[in-house]
Structure 1
Amino acid sequence: MHLPRILIAAPASGGGKTTVATGLMAALRASGRTVAPFKVGPDYIDPGYHSMASGRPGRNLDSVMCGEELMAPLLAHGFLTPDPADVAVIEGVMGLFDGQLGTGRGSSAEIATTTRTPVVVVVDTAHASLTHAAVVAGLATFDPSVTIAGAILNRVASPRHGAEIVRGLDRLGIPVLGQIPRTESIFVPSRHLGLVPAGEWEDSAAKVASLGDLIAEHVDLDAVMELARSAPDLDAEPWNPRTALESAGWQAQSFDEPPMVGIFAGRAFTFRYPETTEMLQAAGFRVVDVDPLTDRRLPDGIRGLYLGGGFPQMHATDLEDNTELAADVRAHAAAGMPIVAECAGLLYLCRHLDGHDMSGVLPMDAAMAKRLTMGYRVATRDSISVVGHEFHRTMTTPLADIDPAWHIAMPDGSDRAEGALADPAGLGRPTVQASYLHLHWAGQPSQAVWFAREVARRHEAADDHASEPDLNHHGDSDIAEGLVDLAVNVRVPEPPQWLREAITSTEHDWARYPDATPARNALAAMYDVRPDSVLPTAGAAEAFPLIATTQPRHAVVVHPQFTEPEAALRAAGIDVDRVILKASDGFALDPGLVPEDADLVIVGNPTNPTGRLHPAADLLALRRPGRILVVDEAFMDATDESQSLIGSDMDDLLVLRSLTKTYGLAGIRAGYLVGDRRLVSRLAARQTPWSVSTPAIAAMVACTGQQAARFRDQLRDELPAARADLVGRLRELGLHVVESEAPFVLVDTSSISGDSVRQPLADRGFAVRRGETFPGLGPTWIRLAVRDPETHAALSQAICDLVARPPKEN
């Protein structure tokens, strides 16, 4: 194919190669030509300026990462994509012959030879005159396979200065295409890793335009084009992303809707190879940008996330402030969404970066280092071998055991563990691959295929379970700075004074290992049961993994309810059947819905999030010989205690209680279970030693006393009026509220929205618990904690604003 092209090279770095190449691209484009821009080597920054100058994706020609055989095909592909160009301008790297030490691989000369591209040498004319012609003569004769077809003189001091150099180059038969005078007007700022990326510099577009004007004034563009057209025809088949995927084993798939893959973008994440996006699109995916500086959540329906390069350390404060997106990324990772992160992406997945909070997907910290790490790397994992590039001045520190993403070969024959390969969802296979290593997927198509397969698998699972909730989601994930908390059911902002005093009075005992016996005895006395029927726990949630150790053959969870029990069972490798109660029946329990062979049944009472209080008789109807019945009564002390199943007959029965909600003890983690003495003994034997802290033990004892009883009674007495106030306001807005006596309400918002109102309400200052995180509920359901009338009124106004209609009088 006929492909006009030139390669801009130089005797050494720092002579204006990027200035001339970028300006030439801009000038040719301004003259009406379509320019295909390229950069030799792995550099991400220069292609950003090339893209701005040409209006097309800046591409890389890297024979080390992609192989010499792909250079001409990638050049042809970039020339033709998105539409045929008039000329390709390739910026070289370092000095013309500089590449890998010992081999010269990846040099500008190698790319020029491989692609049979004529070279234009940029001569930095400072500090000499005729001698520069001798330097160019050396370049022209060093390797006969490299064609030096022209020169552009840079930083020319005067016409006489330029003429002397031209006189020398005329003797070589090398034409001078332009002479650029010394000027201070062209300036691109730099920092610790080179030039500031174009996407981060506000003046970059104006400076690129100025470069174009400078080159147009001092370089003969017609002569440049004539030289480019003199390049011999390129005997190469253009690289094809679909073919590249198929070469690595990808089989084209048919999707009803293209799976969505997000790619981090914006000022903090400016680096990616265009071929990465093209391979994802060739796999049948829809690729969207996500800006972590501005986007507060991942797009709905996202199936995979690619975090490329950039400088998050320069934007660490803004990234830290975006807690909503960080929590969303963490939640998606925990739910099994595949993530590939390179360099900057690795930093974002860490817990901290230079002390700033990041997303916390990986148990690692990152910080700036004294030394720059740079160079090509051969990396392996199992039977996989790749070639990538490192370029960073940060380092990571693992905070827990984690499998490395790669083992990088070192000069002394050893290898270095690099990055992380993680399985946050516990799927039994890694779904997160993060490291400092930048990979060019055109040269490593197996990596693109790995990610594509995981995305397709995630998409298929979502199609199979379109309403499948995130069982690990909790209300505190919906809270963010500045939002009124209606998402968490803790009923008081802090523990009462008498309880704080009881807890802090134990401070002199904190150096001793805790003994839960006083808590067990006090709780047993309060319920008039034997002490060996009670097991204090680190919050009621600790009991669910303990219950999973009973290894049931057929476990059933009655939903909608708190998802922690099912999550604990599944984490233990236990299959779970769901009994879904219907909203049309008021979420009433029908004992006949539970399979007869179920040997473990878990149900909440009153149930979170529905608030439904099941009659004790209906729950007792679930008892069967050989079946363990678990009733979560975390909110029972807010309603009718007469329906509690704690009593003298507790064979094969376990009842869970929590002190968290009523007494404001989320940070203390205080709960307990009461039940069958044989079961309690089995669970106690499996409990982690000293899991219940001394402050929690003191809290349990204190909450069995008279002050606690008066405190509970007061909250119970105040609740009906506060609840009625909230329910009344919501119903006046036309919303359906589930009947209950719980300290929270479940609301169906389908009358005002066909989708979740969680984010719109967050945008108006309110955090609510999303209904779609509970099995059996959809995105139009939200759960709201009962608060005070002022908060309820403000929420009502926010909902009115949401539906653009005035509030009714209350």
Structure 2
Amino acid sequence: MVTPAPATTVLPRVVLAAPSTGQGKTTVSTGLMAALRARGLEVSGHKVGPDYIDPGYHALATGRPGRNLDPHLVGEERIAPLLLHGARGADVAVIEGVMGLHDGRIGTDGFASTAHVATLTRTPVVLVVDIARMSRSVGAVVAGMAAYDPEVDVVGVILNRAGSARNVAEVERSLRLPVLGVVPRDDAISSPSRHLGLVPAGERHESADVVARLGEQVARHVDLDAVLEVARQAPDLTGEAWDPHRQVRPVQGPAPVVAVAGGRAFTFAYAETEELLRAAGCRVVAFDPLRDRTLPEGTQALLLGGGFPEVHVQQLARNRALLEQVRDVVRAGLPTVAECAGLLYLLDELDGSAMAGVIGTGAAMTKRLTLRYPAAVAAGDNLLTRAGERVHGHEFHRTALTAPARGWPPAWEVDGELIGVATPTLHASYLHTHWAGHPVMAQRLAEAAARATPVAAPAPHRTVVALPVPDAAVTDPLLHHGDVETGRGLADFAVNVHPEPRPAWLETALREGVEHSTTYPDVAPAREAIADLHHRRPDEVLVTAGAAEAFELIARWKPWRHVVVVHPQFTEPHAALERAGRQVTVVHCRAEDGYRLDASAVPEDADLVMLGNPTNPTGVLHPAEEILKLRRPKRVVVVDEAFMDAVVGQEQSLAGDRRRGLLVVRSLTKHWSIPGIRAGYVLGNDRAVAGLAAKQVPWSVSAPAIAAARACTSSEAAQEGALRAGRINSWRTELVAALQQRGVEVVASQTSFVLARLGVGTREALRVRGVAVRRADTFPGLDGEWARIAVRPPETTADLLRALDDVRADAAAALGA
């Protein structure tokens, strides 16, 4: 009898590796996937190692699930089958490496390294090399990497973060391998990091745009035909593709519902987990613990995977209805698996915020990252394992339990330590496992789900919240600030700080500012950078400790006779004038005029006029020509442009206007998310700037603030700032439309907040429901019907809208009763 030859599969494929981490593998790999897909190819994305985050970007780039290839987690024998499974129907597979090419599990001589996976899958390797700080040494590094292991086929190089053409030429002369691309440095589209690595694609509001730009960048600078030619040289793969239906058997009876946590807080998952559960006869239903008030109808098992609950802890804590339901059903025996983030969700508390309260202990953020790649032994018989069974997993977290979970049987023994908790219906620990390597876990969860009683839908109820009494009177309305209205556990729509993470270049500048704080600060570099941005001379720039210092200096600069402040606007200029002993005349912008400036309403004898543009809290953008009508001989007009950088195009800005008697104040704190770094500046003619500087306390501007000012006025900042303004504009449009659909009057804003007439008591009722908006009755000219609402991304805005709907429904119910 002749044994049939094993099946072979033609799969063009390439591994992108690097000499070390931080070379730009993710950026180039994701961009390559997007560029090839844009050519019309079906692209399959894969990641060496246990990482959950990079595959999220791969999925955006390819339109297919991102997949992991990790010999430690699933075994060497499954790597090629899993590659074939994930790449089924694809024209080409792109495999992103991990760390350096030969870096694997410590103490195993490169086991589970990129080189190991390249060998197991017989895939050619292209090195991505960051050449920003090297020239000819690149040749030595690449030659060493190519020669180190003859079983690893290194076939080409992509040079990343390239600078001058002269340096690129020097690097190319040093190489003996083909250069398949030269990608210039572009920090504006690099992937941002967080305490556990990259920010998940699902949490980046602009992720799809970033991936598209990465694809365009790679298409311009990488020879895609050459890369495809390399990929087509990969030998045929022998063997069958992994098939979840061959790993498990379907349970008997109706398909049990397995509720799987998703959304921004639970982004860590391997695609094969759900595939195994479906193959075992389950119906997998996703839910979002940030938003959904109940588990999916008919839930018979619960899977809480990994993610970043510590980042979203306050929002998770506010969803008490779901937390209480999870507590009750898990305690009652609902089959539940919780890995890492899922474990934290089931604790009593996380960083001081109440969680589900199933497991009687808490957890908190730590300075130390726990990162290990262990073999674990099951400590006993439980929902997922039987005593003595051995699995391979990984831990990756920066939280730790504040006390042991006493009274619970442990889940695993890892390196002599008992971790987690496990019972016949619950399995929870920090350890992540890949069920493709241990499919019996999926089988056991499916069988437990089939035996479980479906979770009953909670009885419909509505808690009627009596509208709270108005707040006690503010001691000094001019000094009231939105930061006192937010707090722990509240969704912050009260403070106008930009919600996105700071760019990497700004983080670097801040660190350097701290490092340089051993000497007295020198503002000259910041003055020059600001002057360049606004096409002015350095002597026309005064760097200040935020806009607040600028207002104090202006108030004390001259013995003003008749001071006018145009309201409603930010109250700090008015307060600074009063502190300086000035009598202030208030000129009101009228509601019937849309709170727009009428220059003719300002008294002719005013020698100082202060106004905001765009105005806080209305967001109204006054035409520059109307502001310029305020100019008079011997009058100074001060324009607070603190929120102008959030305006698309900044067309009405007067920052570049050099006419006498005009001062423009700018702040960097809000748009760049650095409220604790007081950084701002004043623009005006040289005599005015010199007069203000004479009143300034020496070294009032710190070294970190100077570093921030330089960074935030660079060309990089201009590009990123414009992108941020565009996103703000989009978010604001959605917020305004949603409010108007609910019959809420909204003032026509052009910046990062809106003024909305919510009605008396609504702000206080929103606070009861965990949402903070800024009271507006402390602004001259406004009353308690109004509230200022900071613009946020749509997924965050949804929390505000739900709370607003609930408040209105409760009020209607109360009236009906």
TM range (shorter): 0.5 to 0.7
Equivalent-residue separation in structure 1 for 2:808 and 2:253 (angstroms): 37
* CA RMSD, 1 decimal: 2.7
1:260-282, CA deviations, whole angstroms, 9 ceiling, x for partnerless residues?
11111111111100001101111
Q: How far does the alpha carbon of each residue in 1:361-384 deviate from its partner, in whole angstroms, 9 at most, with x for none?
A: 221211111211001121112222
1:37 aligns with 2:45: yes
Cα 1:336–1:763 shift into 2, 3 Å: farther
Q: Give the number of aligned pairs.
A: 466
Partner of 2:563: none
- Offset at 1:55? 1.0
Determine whether 1:276 maps to 2:279.
Answer: no
CA contact (8 A) 2:362 2:402 kept: yes
In the TM superposition, what whole-angstrom CA distance separates every residue of 1:666-689 from its partner, at most 9, and x where no partner exists? Answer: xxxxxxxxxxxxxxxxxxxxxxxx
The answer (yes or no) to whether the contact 2:251–2:446 under 8 Å persists in 1 is: no
- Say whether residues 1:151 and 2:157 are aligned partners: yes
Structure whose alpha-carbon radius of gyration is higher? 1
Q: Which runs of 5+ in 1 are unaligned?
A: 246-250, 423-429, 463-467, 485-759, 768-789, 799-810
Correspondence 1:5 to 2:13 = yes
Give the alignment partner of residue 319 of structure 1, picking from 316, 321, 324.
316
Q: What's 2:68 paired with? A: 60
What displacement does 1:290 show?
Answer: 0.6
Map 1:64-75; keep pairs closer than 5 Å: 64-75=72-83
Deviations, residues 341-369 of structure 1 (Å, cap 9, x unaligned): 10011100111001101111221211111
Distance 2:433 2:171 in 1: 42
Matched, 1:163 2:182: no
Q: Distance in 2 between matches of 1:797 and 1:187?
A: 55
Query: Which of 433, 451, 476 is residue 439 of structure 1 equivalent to?
Result: 433
Residues 261 and 304, structure 1, Cα contact 8 Å, conserved in 2: yes
Q: In the superposition, relative to structure 1, how do residues 108 and 482 fare at CA in structure 2: closer, same or farther (>3 Å)?
A: farther
Match of 1:255 among 253, 256, 265: 253
The one of 223, 226, 239 aligned to 1:223: 226
* Structure 1 counterpart SS, 2:312: helix
User: How big is each residue's C-alpha offset from its partner over 1:604-633, in whole Å with a ceiling of 9 and x where there is no partner?
Assistant: xxxxxxxxxxxxxxxxxxxxxxxxxxxxxx
Q: How does 1:654-665 map to 2 (within 5 A)?
A: none
Aligned to 2:566: none
Partner of 1:457: 451
User: How far apart, in 2, do the equivalents of 1:766 and 1:153 lie?
Assistant: 58
Inter-partner Cα distance in structure 2 for 1:223 and 1:317 = 49
Give the deviation of 1:399 after TM superposition.
6.6
Equivalent in the alignment of 2:735: none
Q: Tell me which residue corresponds to 1:289.
A: 286
User: Which AA in structure 2 matches 1:95?
Assistant: G
1:166-185 paired onto structure 2 within 5 Å: 166-169=172-175, 172=176, 174-185=177-188
2:583 maps to which residue?
none
Q: 1:795–1:372: structure 2 CA closer, same or farther, 3 Å change rule?
A: same
For 1:178 and 1:447, the matched residues in 2 are separated by: 44
Q: How does the TM-score come out when normalised to structure 2?
A: 0.54
Which among 191, 204, 207 is matched to residue 207 of structure 2?
A: 204
Map Cα deviations across residues 143-184 of structure 1 (whole Å, 9 max, x no partner). Answer: 100000111011111223222222232xx3x21111011223
Could you tell me which amino acid in structure 1 is paired with residue 250 of structure 2? A
Counterparts of 1:404 and 1:9, CA distance in 2: 42
Cα shift readout 1:28-59 (whole Å, capped 9, x = no counterpart):
11111111000000011111111111111111
Aligned to 2:101, the other structure's residue is in SS state coil
Identity across the alignment (%): 54
Change (3 A) 1:293 1:354: same
Kept in 2, the 8 Å contact 1:323–1:480? The answer is no
Aligned to 2:769: none
* Mapped pair 1:394 → 2:399: yes
| Residue 416 (structure 1) aligns with | 417
Q: Which residue of 2 aligns with 1:711?
A: none
The alignment status of 1:133 with 2:139, answered yes or no, reads: yes
Query: Contact (CA 8 Å) 2:298, 2:456: kept in 1 or not?
Result: no
Contact 1:6 1:227 in 2 (8 A): yes
Q: 1:421 offset after TM fit, Å?
A: 1.3
Alignment of 1:363-382 (within 5 A): 363-381=360-378, 382=387
Counterparts of 1:402 and 1:34, CA distance in 2: 52
Cα distance between partner residues in 1 of 2:185 and 2:316: 40
**Residue 21 of structure 1 contacts residue 89 of structure 1 at CA under 8 Å; is this kept in 2?**
yes
Paired amino acid for 2:123: T
The verdict on how the C-alpha distance between 1:390 and 1:58 changes in structure 2, with shifts beyond 3 A counting, is same
Q: Which residue of 1 aligns with 2:263?
A: 266
Are 2:327 and 1:330 equivalent residues in the alignment? yes
Pair 1:18 & 2:37 matched = no
- Aligned 1:669-684 pairs, distance under 5 A: none
Cα–Cα, structure 1 residues 222 and 407, in superposed 2: closer, same or farther, change >3 Å? same
**Separation in 1 of the partners of 2:404 and 2:102?**
43
Distance 1:360 1:479, change over 3 A: farther
**Would the aligned equivalents of 1:405 and 1:434 in 2 still touch at CA under 8 Å?**
no
Change (3 A) 1:478 1:134: same
Q: d(CA) in 2 for partners of 1:436 and 1:480? A: 36
| Superposed displacement of residue 327, structure 1 | 1.1
SS in 2 for 1:185: helix
Letter in 2 for 1:401: R
Q: Which runs of 5+ in 2 are unaligned?
A: 1-8, 379-386, 468-801
* 1:479 CA drift (Å): 7.6
**Match of 1:89, as an amino acid?**
V
TM-score under structure 1 length normalisation: 0.55
Counterpart secondary structure, 1:313: coil
Q: SS of the residue aligned with 2:142?
A: helix
User: What is the aligned partner in structure 2 of residue 97 from structure 1?
Assistant: 102
Displacement after TM superposition at 1:188 (Å): 2.4
Q: Is the 8 A contact 1:766 1:795 kept in 2?
A: no
CA contact (8 A) 2:136 2:171 kept: yes
Instruction: For 2:466 and 2:173, locate their aligned partners in 1 and report how far apart those are by CA, in whole Å.
Output: 73
* Cα distance in 1 for residues equivalent to 2:227 and 2:405: 57
2:113 aligned with 1:107: yes
Secondary structure, aligned partner of 1:138? helix
Q: Post-superposition shift, 1:335?
A: 2.8
| TM-superposed deviation, 1:310 | 0.7
Separation in structure 1 between the aligned mates of residue 160 and residue 456 of structure 2, nearest angstrom:
62
Q: How many Å apart are 1:449 and its aligned residue?
A: 1.8
Aligned with residue 128 of structure 2, among 122, 125, 132: 122
CA contact (8 A) 1:354 1:366 kept: yes
Matches within 5 A, 1:762-777: none
Please tell me the residue identity of whatever aligns with 2:420. G
Q: 2:273 touches 2:435 (CA, 8 Å); kept in 1?
A: yes
Letter in 2 for 1:439: T
Q: Deviations over 1:430-478 (max 9, x none)?
A: 21111000000001112222211111111xx55xxxxx979xx9x9x97
Q: Quick one: distance in 1 between partners of 2:166 and 2:26? A: 25
Contact 1:324 1:480 in 2 (8 A): no
Give the match's secondary structure for 2:278: helix
Letter aligned with residue 444 of structure 1: H
SS at 2:187 equivalent: coil
- How is 1:681-692 mapped onto 2 (pairs within 5 angstroms)? none
Q: Report the secondary structure of 1:389's partner residue.
A: strand
Q: What does residue range 505-654 of structure 1 map to in structure 2 within 5 Å?
A: none
Letter in 2 for 1:409: V
Alignment deviations for residues 739-795 of structure 1 (CA, whole Å, 9 cap, x no partner): xxxxxxxxxxxxxxxxxxxxx9x986799xxxxxxxxxxxxxxxxxxxxxx99x937
| CA shift for structure 1 position 106 | 0.7
Alpha carbons of structure 1 residues 145 and 469: separation in structure 2 relative to 1, 3 Å: closer
SS at match of 1:314: coil
